[in-house]
């Protein structure tokens, strides 16, 4: 079973959206588990202080290394095979390939930073893998952790209803997904393209591939260049 542990200052945010829909049902069915640990529980002073000013000066606060290390060691002892991930805007990009890799493993231990980040020594001493969900900054790592977990757990065996649906989605084949339609056949004077409804599956496959390529060229030239190199 895929086991997820999250270390956070806000454990009450979890499971949040992860407890709903197919991801939540999969958790209820025992296909994966989620535990959120309060970082303040590992602070020894009466105020449960977990941060301090940056060494050398600067704005904001930094999570203290001794407290965070204690939490990591408790949640993830040395024999734990799960990767230790730190949600961070300077980390490796979260891609479909990476979440697929994670979904094939035993789970993940996810550290949610706050303030100006965490002490670099913890990153190095506890072999944390920094992961970014995009080129922007959030108030903390909790929403990013939920993004990573939803993207990963939906790929676990038995979670999604159709493997074909999964393989047609954006990024699975290096392209963005083609347009989708459903009833009614006419909506505000717009009709579903005939190629979608005429029953010629070969022509439909060609049309979908062309649409995927055109959308990718237009919206994600970076993906298009990578796709051309692989083709």
Out of 18-22, 28-32, 169-173, 196-200, least confident range: 169-173
50 Cβ partners below 8 Å, 6+ apart?
Answer: 9, 39, 40, 42, 43, 63, 64, 67, 68
| 73/80 Cα distance (integer angstroms) | 10
pLDDT of 164 over the 70 cut: no
Per-residue pLDDT tens digits for 88-135: 999 999 999 999 999 999 999 999 999 889 999 999 999 999 999 999
| 91/105 Cα distance (integer angstroms) | 20
Domain coordinates in residue numbering, the chain: 2-153, 163-230
| 32/29 Cα distance (integer angstroms) | 8
Residues 2-153: name the CATH superfamily: SPOUT methyltransferase, trefoil knot domain (3.40.1280.10)
Query: Which two tokens mark 94?
Result: 């979260």
| pTM tops 0.75 | yes
Q: Are strands 186-187 and 190-191 parallel, antiparallel or unpaired?
A: antiparallel
In this structure, whether the domain defined by 163-230 belongs to CATH 1.10.1270.20 is answered with yes
187 Cβ partners below 8 Å, 6+ apart?
Answer: none
The helix/strand/coil state of 110 is strand
* Alpha-carbon dihedral sign for residues 83, 37, 90, 127: negative
């Amino acid at each position: 079973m895929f086991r997820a542990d999250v270390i956070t200052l806000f454990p009450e945010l979890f499971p949040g959206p992860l407890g709903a829909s197919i991801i939540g049902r999969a958790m209820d069915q025992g296909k994966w588990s989620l535990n959120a640990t309060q970082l303040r529980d590992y602070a020894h002073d009466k105020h449960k202080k977990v941060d301090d000013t940056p060494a050398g000066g600067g704005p904001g606060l930094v999570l203290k290394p001794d407290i965070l290390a204690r939490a990591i060691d408790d949640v993830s002892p040395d024999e734990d095979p799960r990767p230790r991930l730190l949600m961070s805007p300077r980390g490796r990009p979260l891609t479909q390939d990476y979440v697929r890799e994670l979904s094939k493993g035993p789970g993940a231990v996810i550290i949610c930073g706050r303030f100006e980040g965490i002490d670099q020594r913890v990153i190095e001493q506890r072999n944390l893998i920094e992961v970014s969900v995009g080129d922007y900054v959030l108030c903390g790592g909790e929403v990013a952790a939920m993004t990573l977990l939803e993207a990963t757990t939906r790929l676990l065996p038995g979670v999604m209803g159709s493997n074909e649906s999964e393989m047609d989605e954006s990024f699975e084949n290096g392209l963005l997904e083609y347009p989708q339609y459903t009833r009614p056949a006419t909506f505000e004077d717009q009709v579903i393209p005939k190629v979608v409804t005429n029953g010629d599956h070969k022509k439909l496959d060609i049309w979908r591939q062309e649409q995927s390529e055109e959308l990718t060229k237009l919206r994600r030239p970076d993906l298009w260049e990578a796709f051309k190199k692989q083709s």
